[in-house]
């Protein structure tokens, strides 16, 4: 067996590019590819553009049309993933049988792992809303409502995919003023509703501010069409975390949901009779005066 020849890079730019692609203990923020199909409508084009804006700066927009059928052949998507170093993709297409079609998907080791096809029945662009928008790169707050997201297997995986797609950068701390964007998903009556709101903090007369939500777009009404999900073994392998990245359990030390460290200390019961307390001169002088008064009273 002849091993492939590894040609070392000659420039610093090439070395930095290879370092970014190397496996890491804590991976970089996932990048999403926004891909146009061979035939697209105005609705699909606007939807792809709006989601590209929501994902900025962790998104790559492919301007040229690509004749790809994701559910028939995955080779082109795998190639694009390796070239752009992307872990997520959104493919938009339009046809007579499946109008306004969006395919959300993700990769594992630059191979397609999950794909879910959604049909856009109603759409309102971000540009149609005159309200103010959130700043670039804002980490959104994701809300899910509806029993299908907890009971139906396809909807459970779709919820996981949406979280992976829209969650943004992984951060340790979040300040209150930084919560500006809310993405809400509602599953009801066989449809999936997606809404985007901007959070405004207003004075309430107390320490806790009043929260006002304004619709900033885009708004979608999806219907689930096709799914191609990874096997349980592959999904488990993709979710596996390296041992070095896990928080090592230590005796009497725990972490809560917000990763705050708490500790428990075990001590022997103290003998309070031997407890050394602080001696104050004022108390000592008072005791001497009271003792003199008692001696004088006894003499009388």
For the purposes of burial, counting CB atoms within 10 Å of the CB of 153, is it exposed (0-12), middle (13-18) or buried (19 or more)?
exposed
For the purposes of burial, counting CB atoms within 10 Å of the CB of 255, is it exposed (0-12), middle (13-18) or buried (19 or more)?
exposed
Residue 238 CB coordination number (10 Å): 14
Confidence of residue 247 (pLDDT cuts 50, 70, 90): low
Q: Which of 19-23, 26-30, 295-299 has the highest mean pLDDT?
A: 26-30
- According to the model, what pLDDT value does residue 280 have? 62
The token pair that represents 71 in the structure block: 């559910």
Has this prediction a pTM greater than 0.85? no
- Mean pLDDT over 257-283 rounds to 74
Model pLDDT for residues 93-130, shown as the tens digit of each residue: 999 999 999 999 999 888 899 999 999 999 999 888 88
- According to the model, what pLDDT value does residue 287 have? 67
- According to the model, what pLDDT value does residue 3 have? 45
| Among the ranges given (68-72, 199-203, 266-270), the one the predictor scored with the smallest mean pLDDT | 266-270
The domains found in the chain, sorted by start residue, are 29-233 (3.40.50.10480)
Model pLDDT for residues 196-226, shown as the tens digit of each residue: 999 888 888 888 888 888 888 899 999 999 9
């Amino acid at each position: 067996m002849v091993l492939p020849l590894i040609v070392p890079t000659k420039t610093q730019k090439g070395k930095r590019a290879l370092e970014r692609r190397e496996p890491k203990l804590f991976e970089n923020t996932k990048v999403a590819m926004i891909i146009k199909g061979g035939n697209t409508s105005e609705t699909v084009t606007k939807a792809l553009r709006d989601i590209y804006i929501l994902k900025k700066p962790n998104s790559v927009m492919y301007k040229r049309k690509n004749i790809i059928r994701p559910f028939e052949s995955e080779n082109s998507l795998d190639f694009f993933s390796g070239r752009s170093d992307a872990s997520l993709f959104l493919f938009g297409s339009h046809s007579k049988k499946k109008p306004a079609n969006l395919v959300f998907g993700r990769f594992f080791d630059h191979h397609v792992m999950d794909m879910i096809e959604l049909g856009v029945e109603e759409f309102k662009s971000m540009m149609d809303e005159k309200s103010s928008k959130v700043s670039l790169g804002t980490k959104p707050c994701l809300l899910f409502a509806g029993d299908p997201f907890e009971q139906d297997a396809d909807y459970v995986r779709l919820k996981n995919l949406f979280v992976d797609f829209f969650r943004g950068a992984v951060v340790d701390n979040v300040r209150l003023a930084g919560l500006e964007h809310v993405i809400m998903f509602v599953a009801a009556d066989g449809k999936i509703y997606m809404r985007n709101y901007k959070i405004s903090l207003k004075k309430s007369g107390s320490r806790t501010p009043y929260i006002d939500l304004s619709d900033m777009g885009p708004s979608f009404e999806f219907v689930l069409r096709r799914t191609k999900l990874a096997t349980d073994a592959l999904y488990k392998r993709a979710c596996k975390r390296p041992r070095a990245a896990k928080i090592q359990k230590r005796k009497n030390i725990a972490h809560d949901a917000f990763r705050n460290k708490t500790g428990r200390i075990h001590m022997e019961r103290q003998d309070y009779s031997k407890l050394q307390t602080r001696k104050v001169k004022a108390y000592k002088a008072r005791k001497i005066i009271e003792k003199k008064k008692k001696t004088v009273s006894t003499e009388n």
